[in-house]
Amino acid sequence: MAIDLDAIRRKLNNLQSQTGKQNNLWKPEPGKQTIRIVPYQYNKDNPFQELYFHYDLGKKIYLSPITFGKADPVVEFCEQLKSTGSKEDWQLARKMEPKMRTYVPVVVRGQESEGVRLWGFGKTVYQELLSMIADPDYGDITDPISGRDITVEFTPAESAGTFPKTSIRVKPNQTQITDDKNLADLITNNQKEITDVFREVSYDDLKAALAEWLNPEDEDESSTDTTKAAPSVGNTKKVDDVNQAFDELFKA
């Protein structure tokens, strides 16, 4: 049997894409590290880029079109579920709704030559950073000349059922990002646009992913594991109600 060269190429492209994405993202290691938020090349007025993701849609993570102010079939489906008046439908809708994660361009102190990477964080860290910038005693901590570095301390989850913790401390001293002109140019003009790291998903593709998630038996009809047969939040009747709502919302 001959090797499927097209499948091999697709796998290689996927691996290369994943590697490139990881190189463009920064995640804090356990312990303390110092970073600097820098102005975003593609939006000089605001370095904070708010993205919305579907984390509970099968085994993949999808960037929601609402990030760009566009219609999202999953959001529409969630609104349909909420309108039923059922508590279980409302809970399922809440689970499926996209969740916000904010990204900013940063340089890691001691690793400036590696260029700008994107740091993603949740609501708590986002609020802390915005509060600092809104405080007149701190101001624009992202300013290339008079901004401030940030100490990020990451504590991994200690055991099952616990959560990792990220804490930040903005340093009091004002410093410039770098006094090296070549490095400054690299940081300012050689950033990765966030939409190249997280690609927008089309309405139709997301609709197809939702349909597959609601009907996983289409993917593996031979499976006898009933716990994976449908996204039940209560019983089989509830799953039927969900599928019916989907059909009614997107009927031809």
What predicted TM-score, i.e. pTM, was given to this entire model?
0.77
| Confidence (pLDDT) at 215 | 84
Q: Is 236 a member of any domain?
A: no
Tell me how many degrees the CA angle 178-37-45 measures, rounded to the nearest 5.
Answer: 105
pLDDT category at 214 given cuts 50, 70, 90 is confident
Task: Note the pLDDT tens digit of each residue in 61-91.
Answer: 999 999 999 999 999 999 999 999 899 999 9
Q: Is 245 a member of any domain?
A: no
Q: Is 12 a member of any domain?
A: no
- Cβ-based neighbours of 226, under 8 Å, separated by 6 or more: none
Look-up of token digits 């966030």 = 194
Task: Note the pLDDT tens digit of each residue in 37-69.
Answer: 999 999 999 999 999 999 878 788 999 999 999
Nearest to 112, CA basis, from 38, 43, 174: 38
Count up the domains in the chain and report the number: 1
Question: What percent of the chain has a predicted confidence (pLDDT) above 90?
Answer: 64
Q: Is 210 a member of any domain?
A: no
Higher-confidence residue of 18 and 33: namely: 33
| Confidence (pLDDT) at 227 | 34
Contact predicate 109/36, CB 8 Å: yes
Nearest to 102, CA basis, from 50, 55, 54: 50
pLDDT category at 6 given cuts 50, 70, 90 is low
Contact predicate 48/140, CB 8 Å: no
Q: Is 31 a member of any domain?
A: yes
Give me the CATH number covering residue 38: 3.90.198.10
Token representation of residue 207? 């609709």
Instruction: State the chain's mean pLDDT as an integer.
Output: 83
Contact predicate 50/61, CB 8 Å: no
Domain range holding 52?
Answer: 25-202
Q: Is 8 a member of any domain?
A: no
Q: Of 4-13, 35-44, 217-226, which range is least confident?
A: 217-226
Q: Is 87 a member of any domain?
A: yes
Region of 115 on the Ramachandran plot (φ > 0 left; ψ -120 to 50 alpha; else beta): left
The three-class DSSP label of residue 20 is: helix
Task: Note the pLDDT tens digit of each residue in 10-23.
Answer: 555 554 444 445 57
Q: Is 86 a member of any domain?
A: yes
Cα 232 from Cα 218, distance rounded (Å): 16
